[in-house]
A = this chain, B = another copy of it.
């Protein structure tokens, strides 16, 4: 990481802002530039002291940086991939923090110059908060960071070291498998949480116990981020939704037909699987 002098973050929200703070904490020698698209974001970012320099001009933000981080909703990341090639210096590394990887990888291959290195990244550290004002330097500490490597091993090692120095546990996974697995363990989970909050009659909420609060917590996640995740991974999310609905229908039928013994057996097996999930955290 000694060769990295300057990092640019495009999209300084909660994830990007926390990354800027983490870089300043763990790599005090690296200069961090934040790009602000709007005047209001520019002023806010300037005041917040999260990055070393704020730029309103995309060219000035990207030009000369060793690593460019795309920390924005999926389709904004893709817009950046189209706009930054002209400004990238030779051998620049481009990484993203998007929650889906297949489409971004495809677009990165299409738009980025051959002398730039792209590595898709997905740090698994919650995004139900939004806004740079919540940024925290330790967001990435202890988190799993999934990396979908391209063929350039040189950039891969550098990016891997980068995440590890921030305290991440790095796991390599190809983009296709990433999207398939994340659909099941995160994207569908959010669709369910959104749908449950949508379903609950407002007048009933005052009688809710902790179970409703637990299952609806992530339905606080930002619309701009999640509309893009769900649409960009729709193939997997739709298949998983259908499979989940089938399971729910089956459960409903057991209830309808008073199949107590089968319900007991089913829930006991589910209890065992839940222990595996809760043991992980």
Q: Which residues of A contact B (CB under 8 A)?
A: 124-126, 144, 146, 171, 173, 181-182, 184-186, 188-202, 204-224, 226-228, 230-231, 234, 237-238, 240-245, 247-249, 251-252, 255-256, 258, 260, 263-271, 273-278, 280-281
Contacts and interface: CB of A to CB of B under 8 A. Distances in A.
Given A194-B270, A197-B273, A247-B199, A213 B252 contact: no
A191 B271 contact: no
B216 A274 contact: yes
A231 B276 CA distance: 27
Given A195-B247, A244-B195, A260-B231, A214 B212 contact: no
B277 A197 contact: yes
3 A-B pairs with the lowest CB-CB distances in the bound complex, closest first: A223-B267, A185-B208, A227-B263
A227 B267 contact: yes
Given A171-B207, A210-B281, A275-B220, A270 B185 contact: no
B220 A124 contact: no
A181 to B, nearest CB: 5
Interface of A is mostly: helix
Given A184-B201, A241-B248, A218 B211 contact: yes
A262 B260 CA distance: 41
A114 to B, nearest CB: 31
A199 B243 contact: yes
A190 B186 CA distance: 18
Given A202-B273, A208-B280, A219-B270, 4 more contacts: A185-B208, A193-B211, A194-B270, A214-B214
B245 A198 contact: no
Contacts of A222: 267, 271
Given A192-B192, A194-B270, A234-B256, A213 B251 contact: no
A199 B249 CA distance: 12
A115 B219 CA distance: 50
